[in-house]
A and B are shown apart, each in its own frame.
Chain A
Amino acid sequence: MSNSSNKEVLLSLKGVDISFAKDGKKFRAVKNANFDIYRGETFSLVGESGSGKTTIGRAIMRINPLSAGEIIFKGKRISGKISKEEDMDVIRSIQMIFQDPAASLNERATIEYCVSEGLYNFHLYKDEEDRIAKVDAALESVGLLPEHKSRYPHEFSGGQRQRVGIARAMIMEPELIVADEPISALDVSIRAQVLNLMNKFKEEKGLTYLFIAHDLSVVRFISDRIAVIHLGRIVEIAETEDLFKYPLHPYTISLLSAVPMPDPIIEKQKDLVVYDESKRDLSGPKPILQEIRPGHFVFANDREMAEYEVKLQQMEKERAELDK
């Protein structure tokens, strides 16, 4: 499973830094981010509020400029200056779904217009008949009906609006979708609906996702691989199963402990693991993101690496015992 050599890298971040000016000072919102997203996978970015998840998503969408590094899409650099043609291609191939379905739709436009907007902007239809056929197909693919076309966003439930947002992205036939907390604002049951829908497109169309969230329980269900980000720094990357079986970085562990479990007995005796960087031993050389097992990366210096190695071997031994 972790043999990544035969997978096609669709998107890659290389040494990406993103800074903002804050109170006259430079503020590094994203610090030296490095990761690859393979075609056809769901790659998730988890971390607490303000950790830089949206900033990364917006950089991929070419909205936030980088202050260092580059972003490569299908082998070509898409960060910084690119030709108009390439720009058009990227805008089409990478679509975004937003957290708040209401805010991302024009309240005064009909559903038909909302879904057609990208087609209009890029003249991606032969004639009216073709455009309508495309809109109908996109609506159908998210479980909405052609008769919904003449309605307005406010006449839909939250889950339906989010599905309109997905239809709007899907009609562009993108290769990558950046889904920025697409379900955080939704009800538990509607969440389930939207997650299922995203999985369906992945299977049927080989779509690739960058999924942004702060809740590991959702991320576990939907992702192939997960990157954990803390204060702009990616601290751990692993395949989903590995991250849950062998979490190494203390911040990953604190995120794991914060997942609320639907069980009053267990929840009430649970101890929170609060991550406090100031209480950690940060001595030794500067840490970097290092591969500790194939596909499993952790942000550490050599001293920490040695500690993680001991811990990991211990966990692997215990796992082997359990599996017997």
Chain B
Amino acid sequence: MSERKIILSAKDIEVKFRVRDNYLTAIRNVSLDLYDGETFAIVGESGSGKSVFTKTFTGMLESNGEISNGSIMFEGKDLTKLVTDKDWEGIRGKKISTIFQDPMTSLNPIRTIGSQITEVIIKHQGVSAEEAKAQAVEIMEKVGIKNAANRFDEYPFQYSGGMRQRIVIAIALSCHPEILICDEPTTALDVTIQAQILQLIKELQRDLKFTTVYITHDLGVVANVADRVGVMYGGQIIEYGTAEEIFFDPQHPYTWALLSSLPQLGEKGQDLYYITGTPPSLYNKILGDAFAPRNKYALKIDFVEEPPFFKVSDTHYAKTWLLDPRAPKVEKPEVINNLHEKIEKMTSKGGAFYVEQQQ
């Protein structure tokens, strides 16, 4: 891993928002290195800071927010120092592109699909209108729009939700980004279309070789796409590692809780596991481990002192006092023990999620 090229490096990022006369701290000293060509997934509950953190990569924080500490190095530049749209030119929407959850908010309802794609191509590549149209049709076909040339002049409302999301992807990719940020690209879609979109992004990534950051709270999606995973809670990344490490050898009790509440693991007639209590208030200074008040495995120290990252392997780190050599030995919950064996059983012949492959 250490030989791989780092494409973006965020260090000690802190983000504050001003709300009336108050400040809330949405991101608390988060660091992350993104490797060239990888797929990194960020998971965590609503409000944990996934969107805010990645918005700092493109300078898209709302005007009441600011990066109050840290640096984000990309191609030799510190992105936290960029201010005006002019500073961001050539980076935002070009080298770093974002796809949002709701395709409708990213498309203009009263302009044709074709003109919205060509606009981006012309802006970023300075090619002729004719050349842009040829490229647009090609990319529409690439994202799976059949008859692209014929559908070029249609409006967004003439496309289904899944097709609109494909167009948003086409627009994001039409400027050949180095980093593609997908902020819950499929939560608004149903599972069949979701699965197809995920496959599409993977294929395009293989062809066009960009780095992808996925934001989601669906761990099934993470398992499908991610090389590495970062788990966020209360404005911090509290654990990160390869996808296998996070699913099969999770260390932070919050990661345990997240995995345990999956309906796929539920037994009929029994309650599903869920996390009690509420997320921490971001207005106050958070003492210790932010998850402690909701964590049945919390130690005394969790309430007073913030844990450092402990190393689990070269690629796997977790911010929990349970990894301190002095901590008592705690086993992860039974439901997520031997997860691979369990899921393998569910998906092989005789299991609930076995699917016969078609001949």
Contacts and interface: CB of A to CB of B under 8 A. Distances in A.
Interface string A176-217: 000000000001111111011001000000000000001111
B169 to A, nearest CB: 17
B273 interface: yes
Nearest to B352: A244
Interface string B135-164: 000000000000000000000000011100
Contacts of A187: 45-46, 217
Interface stretch (B67-75, B173-181, B257-265): B257-265
B315 interface: no
A266 B192 contact: no
**Could you say which interface size class chain B belongs to?**
35 or more
Interface in B323-359: 339-340, 343-344, 346-347, 349-350, 352-353, 355-358
B220 A267 contact: yes
B343 A214 contact: no
B271 interface: yes
A53 to B, nearest CB: 10
A258 B192 contact: yes
Contacts of A261: 220, 223, 264, 343, 346-347, 353
A195 B271 CA distance: 8
Given A260-B220, A262-B219, A189 B45 contact: yes
Interface stretch (A25-33, A125-133, A269-277): A269-277
B224 A260 contact: yes
Contacts of B46: 157-158, 187, 190
A258 B268 CA distance: 21
A298 B247 CA distance: 37
A188 B264 contact: no
Interface stretch (A61-69, A109-117, A248-256): A248-256
A315 to B, nearest CB: 8
Q: Which of A188, A192, A216 is the most central at the interface, judged by chain B CB atoms within 10 Å of its CB?
A: A188
A293 interface: no
Given A188-B217, A266-B343, A49 B247 contact: no
A245 B350 CA distance: 7
Q: Which of B160, B191, B217, B279 is the most central at the interface, judged by chain A CB atoms within 10 Å of its CB?
A: B191
Interface string B249-273: 0000000011101111110100111
23 contacts: A191-B263, A192-B263, A192-B266, A192-B273, A214-B192, A217-B220, A220-B263, A221-B268, A221-B272, A258-B192, A260-B195, A261-B353, A262-B223, A262-B259, A262-B265, A263-B223, A263-B343, A266-B344, A267-B220, A267-B223, A270-B224, A272-B199, A319-B350
Interface of B: 45-46, 160-162, 189-196, 199, 217-224, 226, 243-244, 247, 257-259, 261-266, 268, 271-275, 278-279, 339-340, 343-344, 346-347, 349-350, 352-353, 355-358
Given A48-B190, A258-B195, 6 more contacts: A49-B193, A188-B45, A196-B271, A217-B263, A253-B356, A265-B244
Interface of A: 48-50, 157-158, 187-193, 195-196, 199, 214-218, 220-221, 240, 244-245, 250, 253-268, 270-275, 318-319, 322
